[in-house]
Structure 1
Amino acid sequence: MRLFIIAILFVLQSCSSNDDTIKEDSTNKLYFPPINADSWEKTIPSSLNWDETKLQELYTYLEDKNTKGFIILKNGKLVIEKYFNGHSNNSIWYWASAGKTLTTAMIGIAENEGYLNLNDKASIHLGTGWTSVSLAKENLITISHLLSMTSGLNDTLGDDVSPENLKYVSDAGTRWAYHNVYVKLQDIIATASKQTYAAYFNTKLRDRIGMTGNWITLGNNSVYWSNTRSMARFGLLSLNYGNWDGSQIVNKNYFQKAVSTSQTINQSYGYLWWLNGKSNYHLPQTQIEFQGSLIESAPDDMYCALGKNDQKIYVVPSQNLVIVRMGESAENAELASSSFDNELWVKINLVIN
């Protein structure tokens, strides 16, 4: 009998050492998955008092809306990880403009290492003539303006960021407009650090938090591609204000500024991060000011990375939640926020509340 009990204990111990162990959630302390392994602790939804009867409705909705990968982290642990439409945990997909927030992080790292300052004129690093505007107006544009989408450059001329396509509309800081000129931040980092942007990114961010993936140049954009878990890893870093398991990857004060309103025109925009729960918001390709919260059904303290065709990272500090969605466009192709955001959060709330 004694040998039988020992054998049972041995089996239980062996089961607990699996890569993705399932544990009840008993603490609000953040868990961080290992850097050099694909293991990730899991939490059972029932241990969080989530309504599991609503999960299938959520999954059906996600699949019907062309989702490929979907993850919910609570306190850093995997609660939901689902793949649809031929996707798997090893499949890669593009972040689109959700990857802007990776560039935000890299600017913070470069500033912390003394390579640049947010108040630097962009021309210090890019050289004069990087736009087609007058030198006096060009010199008004700082790194901070590129981060906050207030360069004052014409946003109606497409994604081309060659000098002849970067034309004056207003002085920097006086107009908010969603513009592809933000990619010049990657050139600034490369020039300041004297290495390629991708190499600096891989060393200073990707490899330090166990992400996979690479930057791939598509037309005028450098777009990040990775698996869904890598997106969730960055979301977890962002939930902890740039700190990964005790290691401060991105300066905390800088990160807190990045997820706060960055200018007076669009309350719902930080440094390439979208902010929920503000009094008004602007959207890409329009100068209309909309009243109310960006995503009404989502928590007010949420900040999010939003990419074309509904690539999403939602971060909710008050609930220690990170939610990631990758896939094709849920409905009509949009550059950032879409009606899908609000509908998805209605479905999520049925599960978690």
Structure 2
Amino acid sequence: MKKIKYILFFLFIILVITVIIQYPKLNLISGYAAKNTASTLFIAGRTLNSVAENDNNVPLIKLAESSYDLTNKVASAEVFGLMERKAICRDGLGCVLTNGDVDHRLYSEVPLRVQQTIPLPYPHGHLPARDTTFSRVDYGKLSRALDHVFADTVKTRTVLVLYKGHILAERYADGFDPDTPVLGWSMTKSVLATLFGILEYQGKISMNDKAGLPSWEADGRKEITLDHLLRMQSGLDWEEDYSTISDVTKMLFMESNMAAVQAGKRLVAEPTEVWNYSSGTSNLLSGLLRNTFSTYQNYLNFPYKALIDKIGMHSMIIETDLAGNFVGSSYAWASTRDWARFGQLYLQKGNWNGEQIFHPAWVSYATEPTEHSNGVYGAHFWLNAHGKFPDVPRDMYSANGYQGQHVFIIPSKDLVVVRTGLAEEPQFDTNVFLREVIAALP
């Protein structure tokens, strides 16, 4: 009997220690579930069951139980009745996790969007795509490539293939269609970078400009430039680990002002000495973008006026944090067709229906391999410069996001491929998929 008591006591101690260690994670788990539920319901228009069975059905997150209030556009989540978190949705600004009381007067300013119908066939306008058949394209091979990528284990949701500015193939999983907004996660970083390219083309900034934060003036951080930040070469401390309580998970699911998180980090290396992928850096850039405008309203309008609505990506929305900053690291939503428009803009080197959105040289800048990245990263775009994907042309570059969101741009093939889903490498094999698509082309 005594021995059993000792064993039970020992097990109790283990349980207590486990709860103490794991309890802080509940904040992140319920935060992720609440935010993802809110945005997926109120932006993408999907159902709570669909979110629970798919988007939130991942390790740890599936422990959370979510609910929502349709009238007030609020979603809540908790884990075993503990650590309830709420996310509210605001017209024009998307959804955001609350941290205590929320002053709704903060959301009186919203982006002023001009969403004109462009009277041209898709992708350059909003008329139906031209029904085009290319005699030298093997449509059987292309169909088989999509069959493979839509296998159950790959968890693909949408695929669109644009070849020479025409839809070559398009397929959607159940519950998705050409108009369903999809969360791009870190594909948002490439959209954010494009805004800096536009400002540079307008003569308002230079990539060699210093970040210029007053809190950096007394130390080595004063030497950090926009180029360093866009290339993830700032030398600032950052941990990008989504499996634990890290800099990135605390920022996305606990911080009210995401632009300030990376700004408060110390230097661990001189700028350009190391390459360290950092979502905090992207949100810092979003804050710096805000600083370039004289009013908050101008900041809110800029992405839509200068890029998003200008090229007809009317489904796109970039969500803001509680402090009003665009979450440039992670929270852009758009339909698959609008994500493909973004890729087509880059394939056309910034020219859209005769108007130059950013300088053609911006593409060369964004796709120049960053030192120490082993040829996989440029300026907020991913690269194949050193042949990471051996069967894919070296000039391929892409906007990539968590769980396998991709806009692939392959200039040598005049090709844009969008794939969204809930699985990334190795379940989703980029090399095999693109190899099979390319094999169908002349």
Shorter-chain TM-score: which interval?
Answer: 0.7 to 0.9
The Cα shift of 1:117 comes to 1.6
Deviations 1:293-330 (A, max 9, x none): 22222111111111111000111111100000112124
Quickly say closer, same or farther: Cα 1:200–1:54, change in 2 above 3 A.
closer
SS at 1:352 equivalent = coil
2:301 is aligned, of 199, 215, 218, to: 199
Instruction: Decide whether the 8 Å contact of 1:259 with 1:275 is kept in 2.
Output: yes
Q: Which residue of 1 aligns with 2:214?
A: 128
Q: Which residue of 2 aligns with 1:272?
A: 380
Alpha-carbon distance between aligned partners in 1 of 2:441 and 2:394, rounded to the nearest angstrom: 16
Deviations 1:169-226 (A, max 9, x none): 1011111010111222122222113345442000000111110210124796551001
AA aligned opposite 2:397:
Y
Q: Which residue of 2 aligns with 1:145?
A: 228
TM-score, normalised with respect to structure 2: 0.62
Q: Does 1:238 align with 2:346?
A: yes
The Cα shift of 1:60 comes to 4.2
Alpha-carbon distance between aligned partners in 1 of 2:218 and 2:408, rounded to the nearest angstrom: 39
Which consecutive residues of structure 1, in runs of 5 or more, have no partner in the other structure?
1-20, 22-30, 279-292, 333-337
Quickly say closer, same or farther: Cα 1:139–1:53, change in 2 above 3 A.
closer
Alpha-carbon distance between aligned partners in 1 of 2:355 and 2:204, rounded to the nearest angstrom: 20
**Rg (Cα) greater in structure:** 2
Quickly say closer, same or farther: Cα 1:317–1:277, change in 2 above 3 A.
same
2:138 is aligned, of 47, 50, 62, to: 50
Deviations 1:220-273 (A, max 9, x none): 655100100000000000101111122110111222211122435543321111
Instruction: Decide whether the 8 Å contact of 1:66 with 1:85 is kept in 2.
Output: no
Q: Which residue of 1 aligns with 2:274?
A: 175
Alpha-carbon distance between aligned partners in 2 of 1:68 and 1:222, rounded to the nearest angstrom: 19
Quickly say closer, same or farther: Cα 1:308–1:40, change in 2 above 3 A.
same
Alpha-carbon distance between aligned partners in 1 of 2:195 and 2:262, rounded to the nearest angstrom: 24
Q: Does 1:298 align with 2:392?
A: yes
Taking only the aligned residue pairs, the percentage that are identical comes to 27
Instruction: Decide whether the 8 Å contact of 2:181 with 2:334 is kept in 1.
Output: yes
SS at 1:300 equivalent = coil
Which consecutive residues of structure 2, in runs of 5 or more, have no partner in the other structure?
1-119, 240-245, 252-259
Quickly say closer, same or farther: Cα 1:74–1:242, change in 2 above 3 A.
same
Quickly say closer, same or farther: Cα 1:298–1:42, change in 2 above 3 A.
farther
SS at 1:47 equivalent = coil
Alpha-carbon distance between aligned partners in 1 of 2:145 and 2:416, rounded to the nearest angstrom: 20
Q: Does 1:317 align with 2:422?
A: no
Q: Does 1:308 align with 2:402?
A: yes
Q: Does 1:188 align with 2:288?
A: yes
Q: Does 1:342 align with 2:431?
A: yes
Instruction: Decide whether the 8 Å contact of 1:304 with 1:315 is kept in 2.
Output: yes
RMSD value, Cα: 2.7
Q: Which residue of 1 aligns with 2:261?
A: 162
1:87 is aligned, of 172, 176, 188, to: 176
1:210 is aligned, of 312, 318, 340, to: 312
The Cα shift of 1:54 comes to 5.2
Quickly say closer, same or farther: Cα 1:195–1:115, change in 2 above 3 A.
farther
AA aligned opposite 2:261:
S
Alpha-carbon distance between aligned partners in 1 of 2:373 and 2:335, rounded to the nearest angstrom: 35
The Cα shift of 1:100 comes to 1.1
AA aligned opposite 2:174:
N
Alpha-carbon distance between aligned partners in 2 of 1:328 and 1:233, rounded to the nearest angstrom: 22
Instruction: Decide whether the 8 Å contact of 1:129 with 1:163 is kept in 2.
Output: no
TM-score, normalised with respect to structure 1: 0.77
2:356 is aligned, of 248, 263, 268, to: 248
1:71 is aligned, of 133, 150, 160, to: 160
Alpha-carbon distance between aligned partners in 2 of 1:224 and 1:178, rounded to the nearest angstrom: 19
How many pairs align? 299
